[in-house]
A and B are shown apart, each in its own frame.
Chain A
Amino acid sequence: MADLAVEATATAADPANWTCPAPLRDQPVVVMGHGGGGALSAELIEQVFAPAYGNALLAGMTDSAVLHLGGARLAFSTDSYVVRPLFFPGGCLGDLAVNGTVNDLAMSGARPAYLSAAFVLEEGVELTVVERIARAMGAAAETAGVTIATGDTKVVESGHGDGVYVTTAGVGLVPDGVDIRPQRARPGDAVIVSGPIGLHGVAIMSVREGLEFGIEIASDTAPLAGLVVDMLAVTRDIHVLRDPTRGGLGASLNEIARASGTGVRLRERAVPVPDEVANACGFLGLDPLYVANEGRLVAFVPREEAEAVLAAMRAHPQGAGATLIGECVEEHPGMVVVATGLGGTRVVDLPLGEQLPRIC
């Protein structure tokens, strides 16, 4: 194997001759990663959508836009829901469609009020399936205290859809004195997560066709608007709220670090990862920090308010597991760094696209 070294020396010779074997940056087609909530999603928005719509409201890149309308501040958000399977432990597409939009509104501090619901149905889907989803949406809306005020239905030919897609949009009023957005994170802020992470993503994976594994775990899908009301009752000066859905806590923290130009430092052992999630992620080679949640939020609050906010969160059913997991720092601006349990450090980057199960 003498050629081993010879070859290596030759390859290292002249960096000027280096070319990239796979210039994947310019994907000519949509790939699954564009919907993964990571770097590919961000590029799609930055390179395609934002230039096409170009306005200051979009530049905030928040979960919901805050608009000035008729003297009021209105939060406005929309989201499409395409989960497979449609029904999973802990919920269904209908729960996600309501809770997801309710939560996007709540993350700007708004009290969600009205939702729209648009269905794209595939020819051949059993009506009982549609009915179950609609009933779940009705129940979720009642729990969240919102009204589904308008809707639409379209049907596509068999084979041109995946059963049922739902798009919801929602509006809500932002209370006076509340200004919650990622740009407001400041060094010194306490970083709080409202409960154990990774439950939704692992619940979905455990029942996905071809990947079933034996685990009893339910999605955490839940409305968070009530929790946010209780937090704002402690202080209106909450800086940032985010619900870490696709891309998980890791993606949300990166977005906040980048938007605010601050560093985020986490203590790995403080991050609440349930055993079932840790087991499943260990088995599949996934990082719980990048697994989706549907009923959790991460909050950046001034350090002096942290204890009071934590207490208020723990008194609410959706915040019972609230935990201080780290802080915002001046060092490494725009980056998220974890102090490992052993005392080392590592960078938590924005995921590229979907997490991929590893070979071994």
Chain B
Amino acid sequence: MKYIDEFNDPDLARRLLDEISATVTRPWALMEVCGGQTHSIIRHGIDQLLPEKVELIHGPGCPVCVTPLECIDKALDIAARPDVIFCSFGDMLRVPGTDRDLFRVKGEGGDVRVVYSPLDALKLARQHPDRQVVFFAIGFETTAPANAMAVHQARRLGLTNFSLLVSHVRVPPAVEAIMTAPTCRVQGFLAAGHVCSVMGMSEYPELAERHRVPIVVTGFEPLDILEGIRRAVRQLERGEHWVENAYARAVREDGNPAAIRMIEDVFEVTDRNWRGIGRIPASGWRLREAYRAYDAEHRFDVSGIRTEEPAECRAGEVLQGLIKPTDCAAFGTLCTPRTPLGATMVSSEGACAAYYLYRRMSEPALPREEMNPVG
């Protein structure tokens, strides 16, 4: 595929790997922030190809994984109501709440639909004026503009049967939380390229300076990731710590100003719980007072639902990079995508699921001659 295949070229990958190997003199621990990057790293086996001194720690950037249990339980409660059409991104349907998931609600008669965009949910609201249409608005800064746009349009169209169940999260406070945890091992970050394509890079220099960590804005294809690693390692070896853009084809310094304005018009910053991690100050968005009418939590009065996070799963440690998924005794035995102990095993972007899907069998990478296609 044009503009994709070019970033998956094995010869260029080898050159970047050679350059990383030639640069590194000491062990370094880098965190890729985004679940999409984790997925790509494991899917392509990038971590197997890096020099031993470069360790990748998988960050908390999977929005499905970090959506708090209480919010899932509220979604399940709303989705089960007979007058509701509940719309969600596909991979939320399998995330377990306290006693069931959205698939189960759908199997029991709930009208749960997979959509690709909140604007599809808005279209359903116009088509079904007699039903309440609720969109499960999760995600990082990447999905927030479209969700804000949906609310904006609902108000413009005078729709009274559309609302969002909001569980939006923000990346910079999570980076801050990771860096200030006493057990933190992270020495450099690969920042999430898509998040920065929306928000720009202005939130990061202060973090890089205060915590003295390199932050490299990084894309998602194999060469993007290797280039991000190369630049982060180069900074670390030189004793530097600044914000570098290795994803310039998508990320501008000031991001997407129109999208930022839309977010700021509709949402305001709030504290939020992250599943497996805990409460992080100023790490989320909620609907502003002016848009309260579009807040599903108010419309359906689910404020009585209070769920404590189960205290049994090590997902919190995985999300902070303290352990690898395979270090957990339950990995692949008690805890599988089928019977997830924690949300990191649920989404295909979750670190545990990525390891389960792609890396249960530990074996060395293949010799290079086996890389050539045959037949």
Which A residues lie at the B interface, using CB under 8 A? 1-5, 7-8, 10-12, 15, 17-25, 27, 29-33, 39, 192, 210-211, 267, 269-270, 275, 278-279, 282, 284-285, 310, 323-325, 331-332, 335, 337, 339-347, 349, 352, 356-360
Which of B155-163, B236-244, B332-340 forms contacts with chain A? B332-340
Q: Check A324–B375 contact: CB distance below 8 A.
A: yes
Tell whether, in the assembled complex, residue A1 and residue B180 are in contact, meaning their CB atoms are under 8 Å apart. yes
Question: How long is the Cα–Cα vector from A33 to B180 in the complex, in angstroms?
Answer: 42
B4–A282 CB distance below 8 A? yes
* Pairwise interchain contact A341-B371, C-beta atoms closer than 8 A: yes
B113 touching A210, Cβ below 8 Å: yes
Most chain A beta-carbon neighbours within 10 Å: one of B176, B310, B312, B366: B312
With known contacts A267-B373, A359-B92, A210–B120 Cβ distance under 8 A: yes
Partner of B357, one of A12, A270, A323, A346: A346
Closest 4 CB pairs of A and B: A344-B45, A22-B96, A324-B375, A356-B90
CB of A240, distance to nearest CB on chain B (Å): 17
A270 close to B361 (CB less than 8 A): no
In the complex, the answer to whether B361 meets A332 with C-beta atoms within 8 Å is yes
Q: Is the CB of B365 within 8 A of A345?
A: yes
Q: A270-B373, A346-B359 are in contact. Are A24 and B181 (CB under 8 A)?
A: no
Which single member of B46, B312, B329, B375 contacts A325 (CB below 8 Å)? B375
Is there contact, CB below 8 Å, between A12 and B317?
yes
Closest to B35 in A: A360
| B13: Cβ under 8 A from any A Cβ | yes
Q: List 29 A-B contacts (CB under 8 A).
A: A4-B178, A7-B278, A11-B313, A12-B316, A21-B97, A21-B312, A24-B104, A24-B339, A25-B338, A31-B106, A210-B123, A267-B372, A269-B371, A270-B375, A284-B116, A285-B91, A324-B375, A332-B361, A341-B10, A341-B371, A342-B45, A343-B370, A344-B44, A344-B49, A346-B358, A357-B91, A358-B90, A360-B142, A360-B143
B43 at the A interface (CB under 8 A): yes
Other-chain contact of A11, B182, B281, B312, B338 (Cβ < 8 Å): B312
Residues from chain A with a CB closer than 8 A to the CB of B99 are 22
In the complex, chain B residues whose CB is within 8 Å of the CB of A210: 113, 115, 120, 123-124
Question: In the complex, what residue of chain A is closest to B335 when comparing beta carbons?
Answer: A20
Q: Does B341 contact A (CB under 8 A)?
A: yes
- A18 with B313: in contact, given A4-B320, A357-B116 (CB under 8 Å)? yes
Closest to A270 in B: B373
CB closest residue in chain B, given A34: B107
Taking CB atoms, residues of chain A closer than 8 Å to B180 are 1-2, 4
Give chain B residues whose Cβ lies under 8 Å from the Cβ of A19.
310, 312
* A337 in contact with B361 given A7-B278, A22-B100, A343-B366 (CB within 8 Å): yes
Query: A-facing mask of B321-354, CB < 8 A → 1, else 0?
Result: 0100000011000110111111000011100000
CB distance from A320 to the nearest CB of B (A): 14
Taking a contact as CB atoms under 8 Å apart, the answer to whether A31 and B311 are in contact is no
CA of A256 to CA of B66, assembled, Å: 36
Q: Report the Cα distance A315→B42, complex, angstroms.
A: 38
- With A21-B312, A341-B10 already in contact, 17 other A-B pairs whose C-beta atoms are closer than 8 Å: A5-B182, A18-B334, A21-B310, A22-B100, A22-B340, A27-B104, A30-B107, A32-B107, A282-B1, A342-B10, A342-B45, A345-B48, A349-B357, A357-B90, A357-B91, A359-B64, A360-B63
Please give, as numbers and ranges, the residues of chain B lying within 8 Å of A331 by CB-CB distance.
363
- A356 pairs with B359, CB closer than 8 A: no
Within 8 A of A (CB), among B166-188: 176-178, 180-183
A22 near B314: Cβ-Cβ < 8 Å: no
Q: Give the one of A31, A211, A270 with max B CB within 10 A.
A: A31
Q: Which residues of B contact A7 (CB under 8 A)?
A: 277-278, 316
* Complex-state Cα separation, A235 to B98, whole angstroms: 56
Residues of B near any A CB (own CB < 8 A): 1, 4, 8, 10, 13-14, 36, 42-49, 63-64, 69, 89-94, 96-101, 103-104, 106-108, 113-116, 120, 123-124, 138-140, 142-143, 176-178, 180-183, 194, 222, 277-281, 310-314, 316-317, 320, 322, 329-330, 334-335, 337-342, 347-349, 356-361, 363, 365-366, 368, 370-375
Q: How far is the CB of A41 from chain B (nearest CB, A)?
A: 13
B279 surroundings in chain A (CB, below 8 A): 3
A18 to B339, CA, bound (A): 13
Q: Closest CB-CB distance, A245 to chain B, in whole Å?
A: 20
Residue contact B44 to A340, C-beta cutoff 8 Å: yes
Tell me how far the C-beta of B107 lies from the nearest C-beta in chain A, rounded to whole angstroms. Answer: 4
Q: A29 to B90, Cβ gap below 8 A?
A: no
Contact present for B107 and A27 (CB under 8 Å): yes
Chain B residue nearest in CB terms to A208: B114
In the complex, residue of chain A having the shortest beta-carbon distance to the beta carbon of B310 = A21
B374 CB, min distance to chain A CBs, angstroms: 6
Inter-subunit contact B46/A342 (CB<8 Å): yes
In chain A, what residue has the closest Cβ to B88?
A359
Contacts of A8 in B (CB 8 A): 183, 277, 314, 316-317, 320, 322
Q: How far is the CB of B12 from chain A (nearest CB, A)?
A: 10
Residue among B63, B98, B373 with most chain A CB within 10 A: B373
How far apart are the CA atoms of A17 and B313 in the complex, in Å?
10
- From A23, A31, A275, A340, B107 is in contact (CB under 8 Å) with A31
Q: Residues of B contacting A32 with CB < 8 Å?
A: 103, 106-107
Rounded to whole angstroms, the CA-CA distance of A358 and B116 in the bound complex is 9
B89, A343: Cβ atoms closer than 8 Å: no
> Which chain A residues border B4 with CB–CB below 8 Å?
278, 282
CA distance A278 to B2 in the complex (A): 11
Asked whether, in the complex, the Cβ of A1 is within 8 Å of the Cβ of B176, the reply is yes
Expressed in whole angstroms, the minimum distance between the Cβ of A209 and any Cβ of chain B is 10
**Known A7-B316, A347-B357: A25·B339 in contact at CB below 8 Å:** yes
B55 to chain A, nearest CB (A): 16
The distance in angstroms between the C-alpha atoms of A266 and B43, with both chains bound, is: 14
Known: A18-B341, A341-B371, A343-B49. A31 touches B43 (CB 8 A): no
Taken together as a complex, chains A and B put the C-alpha atoms of A3 and B281 apart, in Å, by: 11
Q: How far is the CA of A331 from the CA of B364 in the complex (A)?
A: 13
